[in-house]
């Protein structure tokens, strides 16, 4: 049973950099694109981006200029970095893994989720 455990700073000031990490337990990083999704308080879900075990990334165009997703296969972890944050970046951030598939690398619908980290941006 794969589990995702995430952590990172929960309170930031405007212009600072948001940093979160998600550790994968009970499974390998291979075979999947690993994702970040966020949800502003009381609002819907927004996909942030994804990375595979080779470090190939796909980003939401709306965030691309401020976004970096990285992976550390030695620690079975992947990370999110979002710079120049504003109050609009206040949200619960989730890491997520796609449902298993028959392809070489799975992407698409998200079956396994972290518990979420509330990140608040406030001066």
Q: In what order do the strands lie in the sheet with 77-82?
A: 3-8, 18-25, 77-82, 67-72
Within 7-46, the residues that bind another protein by CB under 8 A are 44-46
Question: Residues binding another protein: what is the number (CB under 8 A)?
Answer: 22
Q: Which is nearer to another protein, 6 or 77 (CB)?
A: 6
Q: Could you tell me the smallest distance in angstroms from the CB atom of residue 42 to another protein? A: 10
Cα dihedral 58, 59, 61, 64 in deg (nearest 10): -130
Q: Which stretch binds another protein (CB under 8 A): 8-16, 57-65, 71-79, 82-90?
A: 57-65
Q: How far is CA 73 from CA 45, 47, 65, 76, 92, in A?
A: 27, 23, 25, 5, 25
Q: Could you tell me the smallest distance in angstroms from the CB atom of residue 72 to another protein? A: 23
Using DSSP bridges, classify how beta strands 91-98 and 110-113 pair: parallel, antiparallel or unpaired. Answer: antiparallel
Instruction: Read off φ and ψ for residue 65, nearest 5 degrees.
Output: -70, -20
Q: Which is nearer to another protein, 73 or 110 (CB)?
A: 110
Q: Which stretch binds another protein (CB under 8 A): 7-15, 16-24, 54-62, 73-81?
A: 54-62
Q: For binding to another protein (CB under 8 A), which residues are involved?
A: 44-47, 49, 58-62, 94, 96, 99, 107-111, 113-116
């Amino acid at each position: 049973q794969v589990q995702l455990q995430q952590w990172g700073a929960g309170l930031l000031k405007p212009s600072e950099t948001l940093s979160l990490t998600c550790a994968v337990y009970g499974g390998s990083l291979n075979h999947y694109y690993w994702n970040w999704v966020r949800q502003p308080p009381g609002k819907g879900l927004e996909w942030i981006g994804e990375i595979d075990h080779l470090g190939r990334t796909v980003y939401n165009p709306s965030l691309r200029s401020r976004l970096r997703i990285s992976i550390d296969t030695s620690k079975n972890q992947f990370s999110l970095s979002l710079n120049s944050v504003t109050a609009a970046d206040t949200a619960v951030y989730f890491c997520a893994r796609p449902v298993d598939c028959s392809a070489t690398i799975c992407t698409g619908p998200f079956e396994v989720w972290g518990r979420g980290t509330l990140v608040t941006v406030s001066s």
